Chain A
Amino acid sequence: MEKRCLDAQFKGVSTGVSKYNALNHHFYVSSKTINKVIQVHDRIFCCMAGSLADAQAVLKTAKFHLSFHSVQMESSPQVIAAASVLKELCYKNKDELQAGFITAGWDRKKGPQIYVVSLGGMLIKQEVTIGGSGSTYIYGYVDAKYRPNMSREECLQFATNALALAMGRDNVSGGVAHLVVITESGAEHTVVPGDKLPKFHDE
Chain B
Amino acid sequence: HCRMGQEERTSGGGLSTTILAIEFDGGVVLGSDSRVSAGASVVNRVMNKLSQLHDKIYCALSGSAADAQTIAEVVNYQLDVHSMEIGEDPQVRSAATLVRNISYKYKEELSAHLIVAGWDRRKGGQVYATLNGLLTRQPFAVGGSGSSYVYGFVDAEYRKGMSKEECQKFVVSTLSLAMNRDGSSGGVAYLVTIDEHCTEEKVILGNDLPTFYDQPPKYP
Q: Is the interface of B mostly helix, strand, loop or mixed?
A: helix
- B151 neighbours in A (Cβ, 8 Å): 137-138, 140, 165, 169
Which residues on B sit within 8 Å (CB–CB) of A165?
151-152, 155-156
Contact mask for chain A residues 118-145; partner B; CB cutoff 8 A; 1 contact, 0 none: 0000000000000000001111111111
Q: Which of B30-38, B73-81, B171-179 contacts A (4 or more CB under 8 A)?
A: B171-179
Is A69 among interface residues, defined by CB-CB distance under 8 A?
Answer: no
Q: Which A residues between 11 and 40 are near B, CB-CB below 8 angstroms?
A: none
Nearest residue in A to B138 (C-beta to C-beta)? A202
User: Binary interface profile of B, 150-165, with partner A (CB < 8 Å = 1, else 0)?
Assistant: 1111111111100000
**Contact in complex: A140, B178 (CB < 8 Å):** yes
Candidates A148, A166, A168, A169; contact of B213 at CB < 8 Å: A148
Chain A residue at minimum C-beta to C-beta distance from B158: A201
- Which B residues lie within 8 Å of A141 (CB)? 150, 152-153, 155-156
- Interface size class on chain B is 20 to 34
CB distance from B183 to the nearest CB of A (A): 12
B214 contacts the other chain (Cβ, under 8 Å)?
yes
- Given contacts A137-B148, A161-B156, whether A146 and B213 have CB atoms under 8 Å apart is yes
Interface residue? A152 (CB, 8 A): no
**B152 interface neighbour in A137, A147, A148, Cβ under 8 Å:** A137
Asked whether A140 and B174 contact (CB < 8 A) given A162-B152, A169-B152, the answer is yes
In the bound complex, CA of A132 to CA of B141 (Å): 25
- In the complex, A158 Cα to B150 Cα: how many Å? 16
> How many contacting A-B pairs (Cβ < 8 A)?
65
**What is the CA–CA distance of A144 and B153 in the complex, to the nearest angstrom?**
8
Knowing A143-B181, A144-B173, A201-B158, the reply to whether A138 touches B213 (Cβ < 8 A) is no
Interface size on A, residues (CB 8 A): 22
Contact code string A155-167 (vs B, CB < 8 Å = 1, else 0): 0000001100110
CB of A64 within 8 A of chain B? Answer: no
Q: Are A143 and B156 neighbours in the complex by a CB distance under 8 Å?
A: no
Indicate whether A144 sits within 8 Å of B181 (C-beta atoms), given known contacts A137-B148, A200-B156.
no
Pair A166/B152 contact, Cβ less than 8 Å: yes
The 8 Å CB contact of A139, one of B156, B157, B181, is B181
Residues in B whose Cβ lies below 8 Å from that of A162: 152
Q: A137-B149, A139-B149 are in contact. Are A144 and B155 (CB under 8 A)?
A: no
B69 close to A (CB within 8 Å): no
A136 x B158 contact (CB < 8 A): no
Chain B residues with CB below 8 A from A161, complex form:
156
B212 within 8 A of A: yes
Chain A residues with CB under 8 Å of chain B are 136-148, 161-162, 165-166, 168-169, 200-202
- Known contacts A146-B213, A166-B152; 16 additional CB pairs below 8 A are A137-B149, A138-B151, A139-B177, A139-B181, A140-B150, A140-B152, A140-B154, A140-B177, A143-B153, A143-B177, A144-B177, A144-B212, A168-B155, A169-B151, A201-B160, A202-B155
Nearest 3 Cβ contacts at the A-B interface: A140-B150, A140-B153, A138-B152
